[in-house]
Amino acid sequence: MQLPDGTYAIRYNSEDLAGNIAPTRTFDMVSCKLYDAGKLDKVTINGVVKDLTNNAWSDVNFIKP
């Protein structure tokens, strides 16, 4: 799925085996695996540029939204 450029919020719920559902929350820390066949040079998150390793696969881990 491809999303247009823009600002997004990640929200989640969790459910245990008994069917109890936790309140909706937003992430405190986010980890993302990134892929681009043309190779990833850098990513900008919250206005901060992170230099990547110029590989098709990379990640950005433990980022505060």
pLDDT band at 56 (very low <50, low <70, confident <90, very high): very high
Torsion of CA 46, 47, 48, 51, to 10 degrees: 100
Where is pLDDT greater, at 1 or 43? 43
Q: pLDDT for 2-21, tens place per residue?
A: 778 888 777 888 899 999 99
Q: pLDDT for 22-55, tens place per residue?
A: 998 877 777 788 888 989 898 887 788 888 889 9
